[in-house]
Structure 1
Amino acid sequence: MLDLFADEAPWQEPLAEGAVILRRFACADAQALIAQISALAAISPFRQMVTPGGYTMSVAMTNCGEVGWTTDTHGYLYSPIDPLTSQPWPAMPDLFRALSDTASAAAGYNGFSPDACLINRYAPGAKLSLHQDKDELNLQQPIVSVSLGVPAVFQFGGLKRNDPLKRVMLEHGDVVVWGGASRLFYHGILSLKPADHPATGEYRFNLTFRCTS
């Protein structure tokens, strides 16, 4: 599938109070970002985590940074050690950190300094149920989320699970930033439809930058 809009300039699309979509913001760095994902996954492989309730997530995950998001029988947590390798998570690449810095600043959040980057890999049929990002100690910092590869439908609601949802298509290079009044809004990804992207094949990758402390 050809990317017919590869040469379009980035633009901002308001999503909610404190939330914005930076369309095509990461396109210029996309090839290098994907290469870095492959290198990181060679150190800490993708895996489908099991929730405390025994549910195997359809999304494959890994992490980089000072800490990584993971699960155990007690709940969700950030840990400096990858439980799969028993080694520290790989360091966050400079390119990742630079992208999170510029994207957060473009959205009006200066001084964002993430210590964790969750890396999600979606195969056809994979999804992420509605949830809040609330495992972080510092809820004053925003979330920066980068989409690469196959398009997906992003759901963005409110502070309650049953609040009305906005559904927007996120495409290759789009970055969503939310914080402030929207920081604890429920969000998720609908089941990924089969497709083929020239940069990632059948997959969608997502980088989610968080400040956990």
Structure 2
Amino acid sequence: MTADLFDSVAEAQPSREQIADGAVLLRGFAKPIESGLIAAVRAIVAQSPFRRMTTPGGYQMSVAMTNCGERGWITDHTGYRYDPIDPRSDTPWPAMPLVFRDLARRAAEQGGFTGFAPDACLVNRYEPGTRLSLHQDKDELDFSAPIVSVSLGLPAIFLFGGMARSDKPRRFRLVHGDVVVWGGPSRLAYHGVAPLADGEHALLGRQRINLTFRRTR
């Protein structure tokens, strides 16, 4: 049986895998609503296009991104923060689609976090060779809500570590439709994405789209 066939079986039969205390991997959880999610992403990008932001240290991120929801995550020479306004257009970020909100709520419940109501969704675009270094999601004001991360498009190696950057991360291969939820004792775990391998996804081509849902305040 080939790797592609293993991926198809995993997507057809969603499963719940505990990967750490307070963290679960939901295989294929988003696959049944892939068309709605992709259409929503395209509508968001049409209003607020992908861009590569610059870190406070002056480095340009390899991952292109945009946002939707009440607040969007941005970085520039002044630091990392959430803002209700898209700095490129000077207008509010696109509203978060209902299909996004419902998916995030249902996934959070599977992870043991009820009542999750995200007010921000980061939409990241990975192309072959791009990566995301180990980091913590700590720009939010309240850490009681979980993080919900949805993978679409090309497979990626997700790195999930501990509370210190020096902790060796575990590696998880995420495919189209997989969802990772982490919170509670794992809320501030270091995580990242290894350099994306080249490939061609049937629906999204040579890219991976990641949706990251957060409650910022």
Q: Normalising by the residue count of structure 2, what TM-score does the alignment of the two structures yield?
A: 0.96
- SS of the residue corresponding to residue 55 of structure 1 reads coil
Which of residues 62, 69, 85 is equivalent to 2:89? 85
* Cα displacement string for residues 76-118 of structure 1 (whole angstroms, at most 9, x for unaligned residues): 0000000011110000000000000100011110011110000
1:38 aligns with 2:42: yes
CA distance in 2, matches of 1:4, 1:105: 24
- SS of the residue corresponding to residue 5 of structure 1 reads helix
Corresponding residue for 1:108?
A: 112
Structure 1: 5+ residue stretches without partners: none
Structure 2: 5+ residue stretches without partners: none
Q: Normalising by the residue count of structure 1, what TM-score does the alignment of the two structures yield?
A: 0.97
Q: CA deviation at 1:5?
A: 3.0
Q: CA deviation at 1:52?
A: 0.6
| Structure 1 segment 115-194 matched on structure 2, within 5 A | 115-194=119-198
What's the % identity of the aligned pairs? 59
Contact 1:51 1:72 in 2 (8 A): yes
| Count of residue correspondences | 213
CA distance in 1, matches of 2:59, 2:35: 33
Give the alignment's Cα RMSD to 1 decimal.
1.2
- After the TM superposition, which segments of 4 or more aligned residues of structure 1 sit over 4 Å from their partners? none
CA gap 1:6/1:184 in 2 versus in 1, 3 angstroms: closer
Which of residues 79, 98, 103 is equivalent to 1:99? 103
CA gap 1:34/1:6 in 2 versus in 1, 3 angstroms: farther
Q: CA deviation at 1:35?
A: 1.1
1:27 aligns with 2:31: yes
Q: CA deviation at 1:7?
A: 6.1
- SS of the residue corresponding to residue 4 of structure 1 reads helix
CA distance in 2, matches of 1:57, 1:100: 26
Contact 1:12 1:23 in 2 (8 A): yes
Corresponding residue for 1:67?
A: 71
